[in-house]
Amino acid sequence: MALQDVCKWQAPDTQGLSPHLSPAGGWAVPRGCDPQTFLQTHGPRLAHGTTTLAFRFRHGVIAAADTRSSCSNYVACPASRKVIPVHQHLLGTTSGTSADCATWYRVLQRELRLRALREGRLPSVASAAKLLSTMMSRYRGLDLCVATALCGWDRSGPALFYVYSDGTRLQGDIFSVGSGSPYAYGVLDRGYRYDMTTQEAYILARRAVAHATHRDAYSGGSVDLFHVRESGWEYVSRNDACVLYSELQKLPEPEKQEEEASEAHPEPVTPHGAGDGGELSVGCRPGDSGLPAETETL
């Protein structure tokens, strides 16, 4: 006797409608078609892009990124977070596959926490970058895609490292990663100075990401801005990229500001005969050096 006769079980009516979903593996597909083979052959190419940047200056490290997570022409999330805190003095920008970046940052947070418990102090930015590159280099060639900029402040001051999933580790002052990085580099290379003020650094980072979102189809949403100081990292702001771009267009360019400043304070004209060892005919009193007042005070 069959088990279904003992249990008095009856097969459900497959012809009528059912309020319940089909179990896993029970979805109807065309005959002779394997779903995985179909997606691999005819499925969309899952291209992705982003714009992240970081630069080091005298007041710390600035990290900025857009918030659009894209999958080919599909915007998966318009308000994602691409700057991940690692500990109170260390941040990391994420570019590549979102799942890979989130997973490896969890691993890095765990390893740095264990090292801090053993040594009694937080590890340096250089040791964190070396640890991450060493761990990911073991998976080279396995389609792992993680490109990050580690931004932090340690005993040596502000530090910035670029780490890629194949084990590459670079130290520098400016890094931009993602499909919008060529546009961001164009703005950064033009306006970057190590001795910038904090507000100038904020404007430069916002301008670079906003210009990249305007030109790069895979970047957009909003602009997240972080600042790593000696006291720890700080979440500065989140601004809509379109609104920010239109507002930045109204601001004068850095070169125009310098021209206006030079017109307001023109350089003194050297009188004739000053370079041939003779006495000056006009413009010099006894004891006057002939230099501008701003230069004499330095």
Residues designated catalytic: 50
Distance of CA 41 to the CA centre of its chain: 34
Q: Are 178 and 51 in contact (CB under 8 A)?
A: yes
CA 150 to chain centre: 10
User: What's the longest Cα–Cα distance across the chain?
Assistant: 127
In angstroms, the CA 95 to CA 49 distance is 8
Distance CA 164, CA 160 (A): 14
What's the one-letter identity of residue 235? Y
* Helices and strands per DSSP (H, E), number in the chain: 9, 12
174-177/52-57 β-pairing:
antiparallel
Per-residue exposure over 236-262, b if at least 16 CB sit within 10 Å of its own CB, e if not: beebbbeebbeeeeeeeeeeeeeeeee
CB 209 within 8 A of CB 223: yes
- Under a CB-based contact definition with an 8 Å cutoff, are residues 82 and 224 in contact? yes
Cβ atoms of 135 and 104 within 8 Å: the answer is yes
Going by C-alpha positions, the residue among 140, 46, 35, 166 that lies closest to residue 99 is: 46
Long-range contacts of 284-292 (CB under 8 A, 24+ apart): 292/267, 292/268
